[in-house]
Amino acid sequence: LRMILIGPPGSGKGTQAPNLVSKYHSCHLATGDMLRGQIKAGTELGKKAKAIMDQGGLVSDDIMVGMIAHELDNNPECENGFILDGFPRTIAQAEALDKMLAERKMPLKNVVELQVPDERLVSRITGRLIHPASGRSYHKEFNPPKEDMKDDITGEPLVQRSDDNVEALKKRLIAYHEQTEPVVAYYKNKGVWTGIDATKTPAQVWEDISAALV
């Protein structure tokens, strides 16, 4: 599997990616999770990224392209293909990815767009809880953990993301419409795109993604 999962904040990329990993054993490269890892590790990059992420802005293309190239070359799981989540987010990133994949002879097979109208995203984002170490996400109402505020698998505490508030979400949505929607159009022109109605339940969305990938 060599695919991109694309969609606005809260559309379900991180919720659906684990299903794809279990089925295809490809690497899951979630750039937001990678940046949160840098923040947690207290690196210089993490410090710079945190300020941008909390404001709902985008980290520079060069940094993001470098992170993906590094993973494709060094993460052994990527030998079975990749699931990109949160990348590419700008046309410059999409063009850099094309070049990177051509050089590595790893042509892209699918781009799946998770479609959800903006007004449905507010409650998804404000009710989300995450397990920081794995990036697994839950929802207070729509997908509650088995035990209150604890990860189902490790039992570790769940937290709210610092950019999951209404104010930052507004800016993330503006960034999505201005910078990332053109990326969707870019892939529509290349004939690899499928749009999925991601307002359905997570199980129904997964069924539709599976059907799109055969």
Which residues contribute to the site for Zn ion (CB under 5 A)?
13-14
Residue nearest to ligand AP5 (CB): 32
Instruction: Please say whether the beta carbons of 121 and 67 come within 8 A.
Output: no
Q: Which of 2, 50, 128, 136 is labelled catalytic?
A: 128
Q: Is there binding between residue 80 and ligand AP5 (CB under 6 A)?
A: no
From CA 87, how far away is CA 63, in angstroms rounded?
12
* Cα separation, 194 vs 6, whole angstroms: 10
86 binds ligand AP5 (CB under 6 A): yes
Four-residue CA torsion sign, 206, 208, 209, 210: positive
Quick check: 32 binds ligand AP5 (CB under 6 A)? yes
User: For residue 155, how far is the Cα from the chain centroid?
Assistant: 24
**Vertex 196: Cα angle to 8 and 198 (nearest 5):** 55
For Zn ion, give the closer residue by CB, 14 or 56: 14
Our answer to whether residue 13 is catalytic in this structure is yes
Listed residue (180, 157, 125) closest to 15, CA to CA: 125
Specify the residue, 50 or 105, whose C-beta has the smaller distance to ligand AP5.
Answer: 50
Catalytic annotation present for 161: yes
Task: Name the catalytic one among 13, 36, 50, 136.
Answer: 13
Q: CA–CA separation, 132 vs 157, rounded Å?
A: 9
Which of 20, 27, 59, 184 binds ligand AP5 (CB under 6 A)? It is 59
Q: Which among 20-28, 148-156, 186-194, 199-207 is the span making contact with ligand AP5, rule CB under 6 A? A: 199-207
138 binds ligand AP5 (CB under 6 A): yes
139 Cβ contact list (under 8 Å, min separation 6): 124, 127, 128, 129
- The binding site for ligand AP5 (CB under 6 A) comprises 7, 9-15, 31-32, 35, 52-53, 56-59, 64, 86-87, 89, 93, 124, 127-128, 137-139, 142-143, 172, 198, 201-202, 205
* Residues forming the active site: 13, 89, 128, 161, 172
